[in-house]
Every structure is written in structure tokens, then in C-alpha cells.
Amino acid sequence: MNPTIRLTLAVVRRVAILAVMIVILVRPSWGEAKVTTKQADLDVLVVVDRTRSMIAQDGPGGTPRLDLVKKDLKTLGNDLPGARFGAITFGGRVVREELPFTTDAAALDSFADSLHVEGPFDGVGSMIDTPLDKTEEVLKEDLQAHPDRKRILVFVSDGENTVQGNQRSFAPLRPYLDSGVVLGYGTSQGGKMLVDEEDPSQGYMTDPETYDDAVSRIDTGNLRSAASQLGVEFVHRTAQDPATLAQIADSFQSAQIDSHDTARAKQEKTWIFGFLLLPLLLWELGTHRRVAREVRGMLR
């Protein structure tokens, strides 16, 4: 064969091999395939206290309460695969729906990571019944939209009420729930709260009456009362026993069901280009063997 033609074929062949390998690395896909997804039959609404006392440093080793909450929420998400999670937060005055119900586990992790308490001067005191109206609204809407699913409430707080008045009953939420749990954070000894978590040098918040460092303590009485009215268990979580959290998840008795909405996924077609690459590689290999034979012949 003419050397020029041979060289041209070699260049074309190797460029083709490179091009096909690049396409394979991209993993091309097109078209659609129906994929039936599996999910748990649980809608878990997490209601989180973000009042200033939730950064009191009375967790293990002086860990702030909110850090324990973040860890627990992520663990709970892992322990309930396929469940839909929604989230509400409340402070002294502000109640927000932070996360509409979603099966995206990453969304719950992101919510947990983004949790922060209100500023040191944002509130004028708080009560743990602050989110009741919003919580009932969200549960009622979910019941109307998904009557066949189980609704779970996870209420997260230190139970501390810092304004005068009677705590409203949590009983109105009970008809919407299949199960739930009240998770309490803090200790009876209490913990101090930094003025600025980003700048510990500013020291701790002070009690306006004594001017000593303010100390926040868990109020298990308020939390047990809320749990009783909801018909769920109260669990003191400051000890951070992982087994307890797994048991809580198991108690919700989720069932795996087929999603009513079938997901559509693109079909991967990488294998097609594998068939194109094979003859090109065999051609290249055959060329190298032929050249090797020619070289051996010339050396004899």
C-alpha cells in the first residue's frame, strides 16, 4: 500500500478511536424509560425551635444544643429512606415553613446544615406553642392532598418558655397525626449562650436582672405536656444515644409503596459506541502486528 495512504488511514483511525473514547466517557443517553420509584408512606413534619436558648452549651463536651439537633435530623433522614420530609422553624415571633414536603434527602440535610438561631435581640421572649397554628395549617393541607399517607410530627425544642402566659394545648394537632415524637435538648444544669457564635470573644449573653451570664435550662415539664397532648413519646436527646433515634424511626412503622408518579429517566446508550470502538482497536492492533512482522523481516 502506498505509504501516504497508509499514513492517512492511520491518522484517521486514531482520531476516530480518540473521538469514540471521548463519547464513551461522556456516557451519552437519549430517549425515555419509565422508572417506578419506591417511597415510604410517611410524611414527616419537623418543627424546630430556633430561639436563642437553642445554642446553650450544655450538650456533651459543651456542644451547643442546635449542633445536636442538626446531627439528629440528618440521622433521622437516613433512618427513614423514601419518606417525605417537611420543616417549620419558630423563634420568638417568626414562624416559617422552611421546607415543603419532599423526598429529596439532600434537601433535609441542607435544611439541617442551614439551621441557625435568631439574633440576640430579635425576640422579646418566646413560648413553645408559637408554631401551633402554622403546624396545623401544613398538616391539614397535607391530609387533604394525601389522605392515604401517614403523618408524623417531630417537635424539636428545649421546652423553655420565657414570657408570661399559659402554654396552649397541642391537642388540636392530634387528629392529623399517625405518630410522632417530641425531642428535648438541654440539661437541668443548663448552659450559657454566646452573644455571637462566629466571634466567641464577645462573651456570653447576660441576665438583665442580675447581669450575670444568662443560663438556659431544659423544661421537660412543658415538653412532656406537649407530648402527652399529641399522644406521642417524649425523648430527652442531649445524651445523643444513636440506638434511641433508630428505635424512634422504627416506631413510625413505615411501609414501602410504589410511587403513583412514575419517573422518566433517559436511557444510556454508551454500549453502542463500545461496538464502534472494538473494530477500530482491532484494526489498530492488526496494523501494529503487520508493522512488527515487516520490521523483523528487514532485520533478517
Nearest residue to 162 (alpha-carbon basis) of 237, 93, 251 = 93
For residue 268, name the pLDDT band (cuts at 50, 70, 90).
low
Residue 260, pLDDT > 50, answer no
Per domain, the residue ranges of the chain are 39-258, 267-300
Residue 129, pLDDT > 80, answer yes
- Higher-confidence position of 150 and 284: 150
Q: What is the pLDDT of residues 160-176, one digit of tens each?
A: 998 888 999 999 999 99
CA distance 87 to 84: 10
Global confidence as pTM: 0.72
> What DSSP character marks residue 208?
T
Instruction: Tell me the Ramachandran region of residue 31: left when phi exceeds 0, alpha when psi lies from -120 to 50, beta otherwise.
Output: left
Which grid cell sits at 243? 440506638
CA distance 64 to 113: 14
Least confident range of 46-50, 122-126, 206-210: 122-126
Average pLDDT for 104-111: 91
39-258: what fold?
A: Rossmann fold (3.40.50)
Average pLDDT for 178-203: 91
pLDDT at 280: 76
CA distance 24 to 272: 9
What is the SS3 assignment for 261? Answer: coil
Residue 256, pLDDT > 70, answer no
The rounded mean pLDDT for the chain is: 85
Least confident range of 54-68, 96-110, 190-204, 210-224: 190-204
Count Cβ neighbours within 10 Å for each residue of 102-128 and write b for 16 or more, e otherwise. eeebebbeebbeebebbeeeebeebbb
pLDDT at 201: 87
Q: Which residue do the cell numbers 410511587 mark?
A: 259
Instruction: Tell me the Ramachandran region of residue 98: left when phi exceeds 0, alpha when psi lies from -120 to 50, beta otherwise.
Output: alpha
The CA angle 193-209-48, to the nearest 5 degrees, is 35
In DSSP terms, 263 is beta-bridged to: 35
Residue 37, pLDDT > 60, answer no
